[in-house]
Structure 1
Amino acid sequence: MAIFQRNAYAKLLHWKQTFKGKTAMLIEGARRVGKSTLAEEFASNEYAGHLVIDFSQVSEDIKDLFRAYRTDIDTFFMYLKAYTGAKLPERDSLIVFDEVQRFPQAREFIKQLVADGRYDYLETGSLISIKRNVAGILIPSEETSMRLGPLNFEEYLRATGEESMVDPIRDSFQTLRPMPDALHRKAERLFREYMLVGGMPQAVNAFNESKDFGVVDTVKREILALYRNDISQFGQTDAPRIARIFSTIPSQLARHDKRFKLASLEASARSREYADAFFWLSDACISSTCYNVDDPSVGLSASLNESSFKCYLSDTGLLISQLFADNESTPHELYRDLLLGKLNVNEGMFTENIVAQQLASNGHKLFFYAKRDDKNSANTMEIDFLLSRGYDDAAGRMRVSPIEVKSSKTYQARSLDKFKTKFGKRVGTRFILHPKPLSVDGDVCRLPLYMAFCL
């Protein structure tokens, strides 16, 4: 499979240059997002020597070294090199613990290995925080972590040979000047294509090789089946609840307000009963939870409402395949109609999910604002996303930016005005993401959907 240029590579370089072996780096992410590929590429490019220990298939002999020589690191390395034949120049080698969640003792050993100081350490893993993967071990404080998700639109453009579009899009966003019509139309077409393919590396690779949405759909269905198997295998007593949530995400997003209704799972469902199941899906990086904020201010987490939330799938391409999972395969004609905008489905669910995917790829936690007031309609509003970001009219100080996401060219945006009226000086630039060219009207910035990755 092709190796794609990932934005996370720059973060790994920063970690190496800044920490100089004083911490290990843990790359978390869903299965099949390219964690192992990124780790191996970084190891090969940036170090004179490297060793990858894949705990999904490593021998018991190697595991025994971790068990037996925790207090004798010199002997540990002597035997490790003998078993693997690896040449590891000191202070210029990287040891990768791949799928480290499968052998938690290795993760705990990081403390001693980092203190030893002769090598750098990179870990990759899924489901890093679930109870069975941290039971009985001390999580090392010498561990820096980052999350790797599916390719965002910028990465997708580079992966599909359209990297020349990245700079014009970013320049348009930074200068607030619309791109020429021809480039705008091309970017819209590529973004719609990206929405259908998604950002899972295997799906993107399949599209590059075949240009066939049917082939891509088969790959995405295999990934969805892998996730279902993981839920069954690792979900333990919560597996039925996790599976129920996972299977209903499309129908929940198809709702007008897109908020997750526990009562749709079972009539007597309680938040506390499903809390661990939602955490499992989020920890596996399969879903992203977006919380309602009762009193928006720069510290959005301070007033989040855990009982009111939306649940997005981490990859919109997977969401589309999951929506049509009742059929053995998704017909090519259906993808064609989706690409052309001719299919009679609720496109709002895909559009909002893909914006959530772009925001999450930039490290944003997801928040929204929704209020219903039957006595005063001025207080009734729904804002799809909230970000804290610098505001030029406040000397660059942080303000709350509300974001409305529109899937059609005809829409109203009354909630943005109500939000500004209600929260006044707390509010910064207001954004509308829509399928139209960029335009600016005062503090309202209307961006094409394909610019979501710039926020």
Structure 2
Amino acid sequence: MERKIESKLNKWKKSRNRKPLILRGARQVGKTWSLLAFGKKYYRTVAYFNFESNEELQAIFERDLNPERIISELAALSGQTILKDDTLIIFDEIQASERALTSLKYFNEDAPEYHIAAAGSLLGVAVNRKKYSFPVGKVDFLNMFPLDFEEFLINTGRQQAATMIRESFAQNQSFPLHQTFLSICYEYLYAGGMPQVIKEMIATNDHNLMTAIKKSISDAYIADMAKYASPEETVRIMAVYNSIPAQLAKENRKFQYNKIKSGARSAHYEIALDWLDAAGIINKCIKIDSGVFPLIVNEDRSSFKIYLNDTGLLCSKFGIPAAAFIGGVQGYESIKGALSENYVANVLTANGFETRYWESQGKAEVDFVLQKKSGEIIPVEVKSSHHVNSKSLRQFVAKYNPSWSIRISQKNFGFENNIKSVPLYAAFCIEP
């Protein structure tokens, strides 16, 4: 599969100030595959080491953390020659070894000629739980997410369509294949962006097999909860995880603790929310009470929304049949709205935005308020139907006077009354 992460990895490889890399992301988003594919394409050799599956690795790091000794023993263990500047050394599931994580500091300081890329699905969780000595300032970071719709198009042979969508976005011109790609986008929302699911979709388009894969990914998340949390914490993490459909099915999608269970309080579930966030399973969207730059000073972190990291997994948790999206079955409009908003949150996060929403005392709400690198503030509304009138957006504009706004909906591209109309399938075009 072609992934956007490749260009970021190549930029890391060529950087004059390159440090050991940590590639973060939830399980099953394609971190290992992407690193291996990148290594095969851009290096003479690849040396792969998995700290969960190979216990012998731990012993190599138990002595001193001298990079040359470590490289020598890794080469002996793997039977490979490890070349300076021309071997990609992959440390997979590095959260399983505190010493390996600490060694990255010494590779950065004493042996930068070795190109090391580490991956860890539960790295943030493990660091928080075990209070690891993290090599702050000594590593580079990249984040990886499920495939967005553009990656989906590229990997299903629709590269030209993706290019045309970007052109229509830039020029605010109607896209002639609008209805076709709106339908394809809903197929994508149902499938989600997990590589295994997309691979099965391309190979067989068997929705039963795709659903089984999504269930196995969700089961793996639950297994991680038990492995990387105490029994008491696991119960609470699972309770929050299982409440996500109820949180998003509401008209007001603000996170409510009573949707976990009656009488639930924030003090009991803060650790659970932090765990899911650190594991990359949820994305948090923080409330702001003002649309004035800089947005970070306007945050009310006690009020937030949470979104699941993949719409396909969310469809499975909702129990939605494929026909609801692909065959146009009626009766799922409110859930389609939740899925649309969830997808937009995910793609904005993947593109590098901090996601925030605005709520006024009069209960007006704007789904997302973005702060671009230039400092420009842009309100974003998400509508799952053709009905796009928004009193809340008008209130925000009247109060804070942004230069323009974005409305994501089923309507075609356009620009009118300082509102940029963006079809749902083109959300990936919104960049910082």
Q: Aligned ranges for residues 40-439 of structure 1 at < 5 Å?
A: 40-60=36-56, 62-70=57-65, 72-115=66-109, 116-131=111-126, 135=130, 137-140=132-135, 141-180=137-176, 183-236=177-230, 237-324=232-319, 334-345=321-332, 346=334, 347-373=336-362, 380-389=363-372, 398-424=375-401, 427-439=402-414
Secondary structure in 1 matching 2:352: coil
Give the distance between the partners of 1:261 and 1:137, measured in 2 at CA: 32
Q: What secondary structure is seen at the aligned counterpart in 2 of 1:296?
A: coil
- Say if 2:47 and 2:90, in contact at 8 Å, map to a contact too: yes
Deviations 1:130-165 (A, max 9, x none): 256663532112111111010000001111122221
Provide the C-alpha distance between the structure 2 equivalents of 1:241 and 1:121, rounded to a whole number of angstroms.
36
Structure 1 runs (4+) deviating above 4 angstroms are 131-134
Within 1, Cα distance between the matches of 2:165 and 2:127? 44
Q: State the SS of the aligned residue for 2:37.
A: helix
Say whether the 8 Å CA contact 1:9–1:38 is kept in structure 2. yes
TM-score, with length taken from structure 2? 0.94
Separation in 2, partners of 1:113, 1:133: 23
Note if contact 2:409-2:422 (Cα within 8 Å) is conserved in structure 1: yes
Count of equivalent residues: 425
Q: Tell me the CA shift for residue 74 of structure 1.
A: 3.1
Q: Give per-residue Cα distances to partners, 1:303-352, cap 9 Å, x unaligned.
A: 2111111110000011000111xxxxx6xxx3123223323122211111
**Distance (Å, rounded) in 2 between the aligned partners of 1:201 and 1:272:** 36
What's the C-alpha RMSD, in Å, of the aligned pairs? Answer: 1.7
Aligned residues of 1:289 and 1:312 also touching (Cα < 8 A): yes
SS at match of 1:398: coil
Identical aligned residues as a percent: 29
Contact 1:51–1:94 (Cα < 8 Å) also in 2: yes
| 1:260-292 deviation digits (Å, cap 9, x = unpaired) | 101222344332332111111011111111111
2:98–2:133 CA contact under 8 A, matched in 1? no
Q: Give yes or no for the alignment of 1:39 onto 2:35.
A: yes
Deviation at 1:299, TM superposition (A): 2.1
Q: Residues 151-189 of structure 1, C-alpha deviation per residue, up to 9 Å, x if partnerless?
A: 000001111122221100000011111112xx1122112
Structure 1 residue 10 and structure 2 residue 7: aligned? Answer: yes
Residues 94/134 of structure 1: CA separation in 2 closer, same or farther (3 Å cut): farther
1:33 deviates by 0.5
Distance in 2 (CA, whole Å) between partners of 1:235 and 1:126 is 14
Distance 1:136 1:437, change over 3 A: closer
Cα deviation for residue 84 of structure 1 reads 1.2
Tell me the distance in 1 between the aligned counterparts of 2:55 and 2:138. Answer: 26
- 146-155 vs 90-99, which moves further: 90-99
* Aligned residue type for 1:451: A
> What's the CA shift for 1:412?
1.9
Q: Which amino acid in the other structure matches residue 13 of structure 1?
A: N
CA distance in 1, matches of 2:350, 2:131: 32
Distance verdict in 2 for CA 1:112–1:258, change over 3 Å: same
Task: Provide the rounded CA distance (Å) in 1 between the counterparts of 2:377 and 2:263.
Answer: 36
Partners of 1:114 and 1:120 within 8 A in 2? no
SS in 2 for 1:67: coil
AA aligned to 2:4 is N
**Distance change >3 Å, CA 103–CA 42, structure 1 → 2:** same
Counterpart of 2:2 in 1: which secondary structure?
coil
- Deviation per CA, 1:222-273: give whole Å up to 9, x if none: 1111111111222223111110110010111000111110122234433233
Q: Quick check: 1:128–1:134 contact (8 Å CA) kept in 2?
A: no
In structure 2, runs of 5+ residues without a counterpart are: none
Deviations 1:179-207 (A, max 9, x none): 12xx1122112111100110000000111
Partner-residue secondary structure (3-state), 2:322? helix
The answer to which of 156-165 and 267-276 deviates more is 267-276
From the superposition, tell whether residues 349 and 87 of structure 1 become closer, same or farther in structure 2 (CA, over 3 Å): same
Contact 2:19 2:112 in 1 (8 A): no
